[in-house]
Amino acid sequence: MREFCVKVPATTANLGPGFDCIGMALQLYNSVKVELTEDKKIPLEIISRNNFHIPADETNLIYASIKRFYDEAGIGNLPPIRLTQDDKIPMTRGLGSSAACIVAGLIAANEISGLKLKKEDLAALAAKIEGHPDNCVPAIMGGVVVGAVTNGQLSFIKLYTGLFEQNNVSFAVCVPGFELSTELARKVLPEKYSRADAVFNVSHASLLTAALANGDLSKLSAAMADKIHQPYRSALVPNMTEIFEKANKLGAIGSFLSGAGPTIISLFTEHDFEKKMQSYLDTLPGGWQIFNLKLDYNGAVIE
């Protein structure tokens, strides 16, 4: 029996104005143990260490991504396999749990097949499967990634983000007890935007990218303003505006809705920010809990 483990970080997308194109990896992980069993009577077995209700058949997203890799590569049938999932990333909370499954499957398939494709190639396939690069690419590459798809081809840049370590920046990842499906969060978005709103987001996404690349924390608060998705999704996340305002009063460097939500993330350096923010969230409905996380620089790895 051959076995290995794939570890994939949580990700947060958009960072405010970078809708579907800017994402970041965080130090919270899903792991999947992959075992090639050689038992042809049981071609697929899927186990959850956390007793989550995950699909235990071919619709499982990790397995489906493994199969997609094999189909895209045009190679033979999959060997009998056992997947044991250890999921720490909250599901349907805007922290890239689906992207983590896609990436875990592609990394596993790359190892099983022996093709040894580069991470850049896996990132392109992951973006193709997910439909946009903002979660899957940082999940593979780590750090902060800016990506774009042109004529079906993925281009991305991993930004130098030493400013977070140099300034001891942490991420208060505020996760509520309620879920929000990406499908619902996308349905509330308009089909068209005004030129003014489009220019607003282009300018702020550009400012955000420049601030991150140049290590200028002072511009992040202004740069994370958004008019493309957060104003429309605020109705789906009770007290979102008030949480943003409170975080700013407590000294947050910047705050944004994580992906499609409902998780809200604030950047901070003050040592008591997390405690004060949790005390405030405890006064609100929704069962909010804060994860104090750092940036993940490495992305998905095989252990």
pLDDT (tens digit, 9 = 90+) per residue, 93-152?
999 999 999 999 999 999 999 999 999 999 999 999 999 999 999 999 999 999 999 998
pLDDT value of residue 143:
95
Please, are residues 256 and 15 in contact by the beta-carbon 8 Å criterion? yes
d(CA 13, CA 136): 10
d(CA 236, CA 53): 24
Please, are residues 23 and 232 in contact by the beta-carbon 8 Å criterion? no
pLDDT value of residue 1:
58
Half-sphere exposure (Cβ direction) of 42: Cα atoms closer than 13 Å: 10
Whether the per-residue pLDDT at 162 is higher than 90: the answer is: no
Interval 14-21 mean pLDDT: 97
Question: From the CA atom positions of the chain, what is the Rg in Å?
Answer: 19
pLDDT value of residue 144:
96
Query: Which residue, 288, 154, 272, 267, is CA-closest to 217?
Result: 267
Mean pLDDT of the chain: 95
pLDDT value of residue 271:
86
Please, are residues 160 and 213 in contact by the beta-carbon 8 Å criterion? yes
Quick: pLDDT tens for 37-92: 987 888 899 999 987 788 999 999 999 999 999 999 999 788 999 999 999 999 99
Residue 262, preceding peptide bond in cis (omega within 30° of 0): yes
Which residues contact residue 50 at a Cβ distance below 8 angstroms, ignoring those fewer than 6 apart?
A: 85, 86, 87
Q: Which domains does the chain have, with CATH numbers?
A: 2-160+297-302 (3.30.230.10), 162-293 (3.30.70.890)
Which residues contact residue 196 at a Cβ distance below 8 angstroms, ignoring those fewer than 6 apart?
A: none
pLDDT value of residue 228:
97
